[in-house]
Structures are given as structure tokens and as C-alpha cells.
Amino acid sequence: MADTPNPDIIYTKVDEAPELASASLLPIIQRFAAAADISVGTKDISLAGRILSAFPEHLSADQRVTDDLAELGKLVNTPAANVIKLPNISASGPQLLAAIAELQSKGFALPDYPETPSSDAEKAIRAKYDAIKGSAVNPVLREGNSDRRAAVAVKNYAMANPHRMGDWSATSKTRVAAMSGGDFFSNETAATLASASTVKIVLETADGTTVLKDGISYPAGTVVDATYMSAKALDAFLAEEIDKAKAEGVLFSLHLKATMMKVSDPIIFGHAVKVWLAPVFEKFADKLAALGVNPNSGLGDLLDRVKDDAEITAAIDAISTTRPPMYMVNSDRGITNLHVPSDVIVDASMPALIRAGGKGWGPDNKEHDAVCVIPDNAYAPVYDETIKFFKANGKLNPATAGTVQNIGLMAQKAEEYGSHPTTFEIPEAGTVKMILEDGTVLHSHAVEAGDIWRSSSARKAPIEDWINLAISRQKATGYRAIFWLDPARAHDAELIAYVKPILAAAGVADKFEIMDPRSATRASFETITKGENTIAITGNVLRDYLTDLFPILELATSAKMLSIVKLMNGGGLFETGAGGSAPKHVQQLIEENHLRWDSLGEFCALGESLQFLADAKGNARAKVLGQAVDAATQGILDHDRSPSRKVGEPDNRDSHYWFARYWAEALATQSEDGELAKEFAPVAKALAENEAKIAAELVAGQGAPADIGGYYYPDPAKLAAVMRPSGTLNQIIG
Ligand code: NAP
Ligand code: MG
């Protein structure tokens, strides 16, 4: 469908499972919206789309695409923004390479990714590709703070239909391991800028001064912090935990966020690979370098590169016998925790392990207790305390538990730890200084070669907006409200200095508590265990972590969360769910043509987006359409129309049929807009009359492989054929 120039609503084009789902759902949404004169356009923020838009000079005229992310970045700063944002890939190194290779094979003459750029031209290409990696989309779009919670209907459904939870035993050997010093948490310094300033970051060594970064400008009131992780302390810690896991007879597991924290965390991951195979790296350093081994790319890449060298593979086998069993990503295929840096992502992996009663899968394809290594101590205590709570009290009961909502600070790249262009692996020993334009040294850290230094910032306007959002949410609910801030931590102390006066001025100081993350975790579990509710008011990282942790325990998944970004300039950004793009779901579709992706997050976001259009633009038909979406979402829950996980049963496509049907029925029976009722009555009737025929057509192709013509850049015609297999449904939708 051709896009109108300024659509009322933008629906993002993304990757993997949510994009497969869009091939079926978006035509339904566009058809229903058009009947109410509401246009729904698309913007491409997929990994492939972002790569193509970065290299127009390498593409033919008909291959070139616009930079939709940049356009959206402008739009979200205007009151006109009304964007439904689906999850997209935050690409790790290996994913970026795979996407480039796929596009090249499809005739796009993209340059190779320069692993070791030498010329200026190569350095420029490398810089363009690196800007696409990791969390490259969300920080651009999130020009507002975050309000995430389970919609009432979703929470009620989860309580009435509690999911299975693994039992927790008091004798479980599962535990969290974090560094006792030398980490980002313990080395942090922070300051609030009294006046606007540009800032430069330099490394002073015995040989002179190198400028790491210059010309960053921060407005007055910005909280700027800096810290580093000691490579030596990290290596010693990893070696000790590997030995302890062996002695304790548990799985070794490492939980990082190598996608979002795209600079720091792949390096930490690489340290784990090197420590795991320490004797091999010592003995064969030159050979490994010659083979192009980069430990940050993971054990999978390493094993592939050394597979023809009998000496090295024998040495690896010899070490393996001295190591503890590793937590597996896929034990059938021998994929370990250390194979690919983006396979185990802490915010999804820890809640899954906790939901399973503290168990992970081992190489023997059985469940075992595990040591969960989360090197940095800033947020590891959240998982440690959760595990201690369940060991002492047993698993959470989703039938009776209350809910934890979240108000998260994230606007204008607040607290984008480790993903910033202000994170560095230090090349040689010296002192890193952060210097203001008047010469004031804001931060100074003595570092050694290999240490990871990072700075992040949070601006005044976003911080104030966040606190006010928390005040209005607390007022709307009356819930126990906790700021998850640690007075003993440098960065948090600066935020507390903002929080307290604003609460006092609003006369609501008695309605809020301030607690460090460990105490707040315990208080939150105590609260929801009693069946009561609480609001977690957190920084950016905990926003991400907690809106997976609590929903996964309360609702089984974070995919059903309502995720609203109230843009600071008046627009609305509606994220769908709080989870990711579910790569495993794509694999299942390709292998057996079953898509278990649940679009409930999309349904909830669509309802909110239409409501926003009604409120902001006084669009009466958007209100009618939005209320009908809410009714349809309720219908999906009440009648259990969500996708099944098993092949041969109703899947994502079937749930879209029901969504369309309940939506049409709600429109046909409402009395606010007679014209819409008249238009949708025959649609509802046709959908109901053809129920059996459509259901049969939708499952007919299941069981056999599906060809969508690519992974990162599927063929639209093939994708449509797979995702819209019911001719009867397509005809009714028109
Ligand atoms: P994930 O895609 O959320 O996958 C974790 C698991 O959650 C899935 O395997 C699936 O479990 C379940 N799940 C998530 N959404 C679901 C849905 N709508 N319906 C049913 N089940 C759902 O997390 P990940 O593996 O950490 O990340 C994968 C990719 O997504 C990465 O590239 C990451 O960067 C990206 N990501 C993007 C965003 C964003 O754009 N906002 C957020 C997070 C992650 P089962 O397989 O057991 O069914
Ligand atoms: Mg998350």
C-alpha cells in the first residue's frame, strides 16, 4: 500500500518475528483505519533498512532507500508524532555481518565490514556500520520517558489463568556472582553541571595526551558520570567463578547485555571467552591472531576459525575437561552461553531462569542449578535478592500476586551506559580525564591498559519530566511508589538531589520512598506477594530490566506489556510489549510454518495510539475505532485466542483473524458512529460465517518448511504468501 505523505499513525517496519506478524496484521489495521479516514503509514527501522540507507553511493538509484530513522527522529520532536514502535534488532557484531552478507548476496553492492580498517575510506565505512550496531534505534526515538504496565485486562487474565512456574527450593545452589570491587559500580564518580559546557575526554599517559572525544555539549543541570571496569579485576573474578562453579557442581553462566551496551559488554564477553580458554590464548596467541580470532565475537566464531588446526582443537578439548559444565543456549546443537555475545541477554535470560525455579539447561540436555555471573554490581543485586527471596519464600503465585508498574527515565539518551560514543577500551595505562571548557577537571580515573572506561549523562529536563510522570502515576493509582536509587552510589545521589525538592514542592514527599535496588527488590516482592501493587521509578537500565523481570514472573512474558512513551514535545510513541524480536520464533516459522509470536502488545499499543489521536486531535472516529480495538483485545483474552506454541494449532495468523472479527463486531454494534456501524456489519457477518473455512485455510500449510526469501531482508511477496494464506480472509479484508 502506498504511503500518504503525512499519515496519522506510523507503524514501524522491523525485523524477525514482529515483522512476520506485521505482514498479516498491518493490512487488517490499514483497512479498518481507512474506513474511519485514518491513515496508517510505515517507516523502515529494520536492520537491513538501516544498512541500506547508510550507503546510497554504493547502490543503484532504484536500490536506494530513505533514512527513515532520521525522519522519525525529527518527527518524535513534534506534537504530530503518533508512532507505533515494534521491537527491532539491536545488532551484535555477528548479526551485522550476517545482514550485510545477505544483502550483498541479493545484489546490493555494499562494502564489506572492515575488521581492521587502515585507510580513511575504510575507517569511514567502519564508523557507519558501527553506528548501526547495538541499540541504535531506541535512543533516537525515545524523546520522552517511559510508562510501562500491564493493562488491567491482561493482568486479570494472567491471574485467572496462572502460568506454570518452576518450584524454588531452599537448597537450590543457584546464585548470582558479581565483582567485589574494580567494577563500574565501585569506581563511579558523578557531578551535576552548574552551567552549560562542552566537555572533552582525554587519556594522559607517560607519552603524552590523547583526545578520546571532544566537543560533547551538555546543558546546565546535566548529571554527568564516569567510571571504569578494571580488566585485571574482571579476569581474576571470572577465573575464580569458573573454578567455584566446578567445585559447586553447577552450570557456569554469564549474563550481559552485549546488544544495548554495544561497546562495553562485548568486551566483557570477550574477557570471559579468553579466561575460559586461558591456556589456549597464552600458548597460541600468534596463531589465533593470524586466524583472525576476536574473542569478543564469541566461542562459536573462534571454534569455526580454528577447526582445521589439530593442535589448537586438541588444546581446547583438554581444557574443556577441567571446566564446569556450561549453561547452554541450545544443548541439541552444542551452542553454549559463550558462543555468540547476543544469545544470552541479561534482562530476558535471568527472569527465564528464575521463572524456571533457578534452573538452566546443561550440555547433558538436563536442567541444573547455575551460578549466574553478572560482573558489574550496579544491578546484579536485583537478581541476587530475587533469588534469595524465592529461596526463602518459594515461587511467586501469579494467581494472587499484585503488579509492579514502571516509570523509567530514558528521554534524550539518559543513562545509555556503555552504548555511547563515550565508552572506551583503554589502550595504555594512564589517567582518563573529563574536562569542561573552562578547564575544570570533572572526572579523573587512573586506568590500566584494557580497562573499560565509560561516561553517561542524564539531562535536567528529562529528569524533571520523569519525576513529574511518577507523581501523576502515583496520584492516578495510589500505589506504593519507590524510587530505585542508591544514596551510596555517585550517580544516584545526584538524581536524589533532583527528586527530593520536586516531591517536596508538590507536597507529595510522604507518598514516595527512596531505596537502593536490593532493598527495593525485596520491598516490591513483599508488596506483590500480599496482592498489592507498586510503582518502580527507575533509571534507564532498570526500566529495561524490571519490565522484563516482573512481567515474566507475573504474566509469563513481557510481550503483553503496555509501553507508552509520553514524548516531551507532546507527541506519542507507543512501544509494543517490553520484549524483543524473538529470533527463535522465526526459526520455527521457517522450519514448520508456525508463528507463535503473540501480537497482544501490538493490539494494546494500537488502542492507545488511537485513543491518543482522539484526545490530541479531537478525532471522534479514532475514539470509536480505539474503543473497538480495546474490546477486540478483551475478546482475544476472554476467549483464549492467543497463538499456540505448537505446530498444527492456531498461531499468530489465526489470532489476527479473531482480532479482526472482534474488532468488526465491536464496530458493528456500537451506536456512536452509524456510518462505521453500517460499514462493518457485513464485514463482521462475513468473518463469522466463514470461520471454519478461514481457520482451515490458516493452518493448512503448517508442518512443512516456509520460504520467506531471506532472514534480514525477506521477499515481500513470499512473506505475504506465507503470512496471508487464507484467500477467504484476504477477500473479506479487501
Ligand atoms: P526476546 O526477543 O524478547 O526473546 C525472549 C523470549 O521471549 C522469546 O524467545 C519468547 O519466548 C518470548 N517472547 C518475546 N516476545 C514475544 C511475543 N510477542 N510473543 C511470544 N513470545 C515472546 O529477547 P532477546 O532474545 O533478548 O532479544 C532478541 C532481539 O530483540 C535482539 O536483537 C534484541 O536486541 C532485540 N530487542 C529489541 C527490543 C526493542 O526494540 N525494544 C527490546 C528487547 C530486545 P519463547 O521462545 O519461549 O516463546
Ligand atoms: Mg528488556
Q: How far is the CA of 260 from the centre of ligand 1 (A)?
A: 13
Check if 348 has its Cβ closer than 6 Å to any atom of ligand 1: yes
Predicted local distance difference test score (pLDDT) of residue 139: 87
Q: Residue 155 pairs with which residues in a beta bridge?
A: none
Pocket test for ligand 1, best of 343, 584, 600, 642 (most atoms within 8 A of CB): 584
Pocket test for ligand 1, best of 164, 256, 259 (most atoms within 8 A of CB): 259
Which DSSP symbol is given to 58? G
| Percentage of the residues of the chain whose pLDDT score is greater than 90 | 94
Atom of ligand 1 nearest to the CA of 348: 26
Q: Residue 252 pairs with which residues in a beta bridge?
A: 326, 371
Ligand nearest to the CA of 542: 2
pLDDT digits (tens, 9 = 90+) for 660-704: 999 999 999 999 999 999 999 999 999 999 999 999 999 999 999
Q: How confident is the model at residue 2 (pLDDT cuts 50, 70, 90)?
A: very low
Question: What are the two backbone dihedrals, phi and then psi, of residue 514, each rounded to the nearest 5 degrees?
Answer: -120, 120
**Sheet-wide strand order for 562-567:** 40-44, 9-13, 82-85, 572-576, 562-567, 144-149, 404-408, 534-538, 480-484, 512-515
Tell me the residues surrounding ligand 2 (ion) with CB < 5 Å.
Answer: 347, 544, 548
Check if 350 has its Cβ closer than 6 Å to any atom of ligand 1: no
pLDDT digits (tens, 9 = 90+) for 493-507: 999 999 999 999 999
| Three-state DSSP state, 228 | strand
Q: How far is the CA of 89 from the centre of ligand 1 (A)?
A: 9
Q: Where are the domains of the chain?
A: 9-143+569-733
Nearest-CA neighbor of 164 among 404, 385, 395?
A: 395
Ligand nearest to the CA of 352: 1
Counted residue by residue, the chain has a size of 734
pLDDT digits (tens, 9 = 90+) for 216-259: 999 999 999 999 999 999 999 999 999 999 999 999 999 999 98
| Cell numbers placing 454 | 565509560
Check if 469 has its Cβ closer than 6 Å to any atom of ligand 1: no
Q: Tell the residue nearest (CA) to atom 30 of ligand 1.
A: 580
Predicted local distance difference test score (pLDDT) of residue 296: 95
Give burial (CB, 10 Å; 0-12/13-18/19+) of 522.
Answer: middle
| Cell numbers placing 528 | 506483590
Q: How confident is the model at residue 291 (pLDDT cuts 50, 70, 90)?
A: very high
Check if 557 has its Cβ closer than 6 Å to any atom of ligand 1: yes
| Cell numbers placing 607 | 488502542
| Cell numbers placing 376 | 558489574
| Cell numbers placing 583 | 529470533
Q: How confident is the model at residue 5 (pLDDT cuts 50, 70, 90)?
A: confident
Q: Tell the residue nearest (CA) to atom 42 of ligand 1.
A: 580
Q: How far is the CA of 349 from the centre of ligand 2 (A)?
A: 10
Rg of the chain over Cα atoms, rounded to whole angstroms, equals: 26
Predicted TM-score of the model (pTM): 0.90
Check if 581 has its Cβ closer than 6 Å to any atom of ligand 1: yes
650 touches 698 (CB < 8 A): yes
CB 505: neighbour CB atoms within 10 A?
9
Predicted local distance difference test score (pLDDT) of residue 1: 42
CB neighbours of 379 closer than 8 A, spacing ≥ 6? 517, 541, 542, 545
Atom of ligand 1 nearest to the CA of 21: 18
670-678 CB contacts, 8 Å cutoff, 24+ apart? 670/624, 670/627, 670/628, 672/620, 672/623, 672/624, 673/36, 673/620, 673/621, 673/624, 676/35, 676/36, 676/621, 676/624, 676/625
pLDDT digits (tens, 9 = 90+) for 66-110: 999 999 999 999 999 999 999 999 998 889 999 999 999 999 999
Q: How far is the CA of 730 from the centre of ligand 2 (A)?
A: 35
Check if 534 has its Cβ closer than 6 Å to any atom of ligand 1: no
Strands 82-85 and 40-44 turn out to be unpaired
pLDDT digits (tens, 9 = 90+) for 621-645: 999 999 999 999 999 999 999 999 9
Q: Residue 253 pairs with which residues in a beta bridge?
A: 372
Predicted local distance difference test score (pLDDT) of residue 4: 62
Check if 94 has its Cβ closer than 6 Å to any atom of ligand 1: no
| Cell numbers placing 358 | 533457578
Mean pLDDT for the chain overall: 96
pLDDT digits (tens, 9 = 90+) for 304-354: 999 999 999 999 999 999 999 999 999 999 999 999 998 999 999 999 999
Check if 552 has its Cβ closer than 6 Å to any atom of ligand 1: no
Q: Tell the residue nearest (CA) to atom 38 of ligand 1.
A: 580
Identity of residue 42:
T
Identity of residue 492:
D
| Cell numbers placing 230 | 578494571
Angle at 309 (CA atoms; ends 304, 312), nearest 5 degrees? 90
253 touches 337 (CB < 8 A): yes
